[in-house]
Amino acid sequence: MKPIITTPDPRLRAKSSRVREIDDEIRQIIADMVESSLAWEKEHPYELSAAMAAPQLGVNKRIIIVRDDLDDKEHNSFTALINPEVIRTEGKMTKDYEGCLSVPEIYGLVSRPHKAKIKAQLENGQEVRLKADGYLARVLMHEIDHLNGILFIDHIKDDPKAFYRMTDKGDLEPITNYEAEIKNNPKLFPED
């Protein structure tokens, strides 16, 4: 199993390169992503690994995986999207909680468009266009952000009331002393 890298690893901030050919190396990266995602999930009983981007394994290639069933932790299949792009977003902006395997223990209330249209290639090379709304649209936009070196915390870093932490019982509670959190956890926002 490949380890999931976390902030402030600079590979999370690099823009990923396009995949030119879907070969055995790319298929192995996808398999590693699925394995690491499920292994992480086993260690986090209250959390679901909904998706992952290749940079989270230190591989700066434009590959994401998305869980086929975002509501059921028992279904462990994922779909790989290669060179995904957001073509268009629409609908009202909605706020919801986001977490990230590469930003341990921190969650945030992030505003994103309700709908997104995505184009990508499947693992077999087939080009697809997806229309997503709600939670799936949010997941896709979050992962595509990773490919551009953007983390969910970047969308909320100027709003101290948007940060949360998960309790031992699986509930999210606001981080009440944001300044102390940043001081004690400089990995969140390393100095440029």
- Just list the catalytic residues: 143
What does the block give as tokens for 80? 């790989």
Both tokens of 126, joined, read 């087939």
- Size of the chain in residues: 192
* DSSP assignments along 81-139, one per residue: EEEEEEEEEEEEEEEEEEEETTEEEEEEEEEEEEEEEEEEE-TTS-EEEEEEEHHHHHH
Residue 87 sits at φ, ψ, to 5 deg, of: -85, -40
Is residue 109 within 8 A of residue 99, CB to CB? The reply is no
Enter the tokens of residue 50. Answer: 């909904």
171 φ, ψ to 5°? -95, 150
Could you give the CA distance from residue 114 to residue 129 in angstroms, rounded to a whole number? 17
